[in-house]
Amino acid sequence: MRDLLIDKNKQELKQHGNVEFPFRIGYEDIWQYYNGKFACHWHKEVEFTYVYQGKMRYQVNDKIYELKKGQCLFINANTFHRGEHINKEECKYFAMTFNIHFLANEEELIYKKYVLPVIYSKNLSSFVCLPENKLEKKIIKQVKYIDKCYRKQNLFYELEIKEHLLKLWQILWEAFESKIEIDIDRNYYKQLIKIKQITQFIHKHYAEKITLQNIADNLHISISDCSHSFKKFMKESIFEYILHYRIQQSLYLLQDKELSILQISLKVGFSSTSYYSKLFKKYMKMTPKEYRKLLKN
């Protein structure tokens, strides 16, 4: 079992390829993650997630999807996303991520005309490609072919991957041109920045007492704006998010045998061990002691 590595801003720390070849495909099983779910995070890369077994629930910003076998989800750059099991079912999938500059550099016409409008389009933060739709089926076919190239890594596979990524981007335009807003919606991205600032504050001060007033004052916004914006994008209240995050942080501390449950509960911001244990069992379906025993085994 594992968890995502994310920083204080909720940005994923995992490297998606490298500077020389900014492309990666990761092969995942939802049950590799604690409780069959991975934490909300974001990254600068574009992502295509293809489910080849089972199904899962996936949230991107304020949209929630039920991804099924044979479907492919497009996740735009810099968007919040997370996933979890549905009714404890299995789900296996691969996540194809690449830096947008792999398609073209910022100075190029291709970037300005075809990449930038997609990246900053409010209507295209995400979408699901269904095999029943003719153009969307072509997107799925391209994604699967690129995966084949990546796995085989024959001679010139890097060139082949880039060639088919550009073709994939062209099909994306053909399928969703009507949804792509040429005028960048700056207000939408201001909202995203606001959410990132809220999570950054929580990650920095989660061990302390946090109130909505604290967060709102830090961002110089009203309490209602702070609360409403967060709930809209994250589908949970700020208070619920703080509790989730504290429990998540305690998982790492439970690996340290020198720390007692009381010490851990205090370190992650709980004033009561019983309340910490109660919430831990609610989210993890076991007590902190049982979790520690599981780690030992």
What tens digit of pLDDT does each residue of 172-193 get?
A: 998 888 777 655 556 766 777 8
Quick check: is 16 in a domain?
no
User: Domain containing 38: what range?
Assistant: 23-179
For residue 174, what is the domain's CATH number? 2.60.120.280
Residues 190, 270: one domain? Answer: yes
Q: Is-contact 172 138, C-beta < 8 A? A: no
Lookup result for tokens 């002691």: 289
Q: Single out the residue of 104, 101, 102, 97 nearest to residue 81, CA to CA.
A: 97
**pLDDT, tens digit (0-9, with 9 covering 90-100), for 210-260:** 999 999 999 999 999 999 988 887 778 999 999 988 998 898 899 888 999
pLDDT at 11: 53
Quick check: is 29 in a domain?
yes
Kindly tell me if the per-residue pLDDT of 7 is higher than 70: no
Q: What is the pTM of this model?
A: 0.68
Task: Please tell me whether residue 33 adopts helix, strand or coil conformation.
Answer: strand
Task: Please tell me whether residue 259 adopts helix, strand or coil conformation.
Answer: coil
Kindly tell me if the per-residue pLDDT of 123 is higher than 90: no
Domain boundary among 145, 179, 213: 179
Lookup result for tokens 């100075």: 107
Quick check: is 10 in a domain?
no
- Cα dihedral value 95, 96, 97, 102, nearest 10: 180
Residues 169, 192: one domain? Answer: no
H or E segment and range at residue 170? helix 157-176
Residues 34, 174: one domain? Answer: yes
Average pLDDT over residues 261-275: 94
Residues 241, 121: one domain? Answer: no
Residues 157, 197: one domain? Answer: no
Kindly tell me if the per-residue pLDDT of 99 is higher than 80: yes
Quick check: is 13 in a domain?
no
Report how many domains make up the chain: 2
Quick check: is 11 in a domain?
no
Residue 292 pLDDT level (bands cut at 50, 70, 90): confident
Across 237-273, b (16+ Cβ under 10 Å) vs e yields: ebeebbbbbbbbbbbeebeeeebebeebbbbbbbeeb
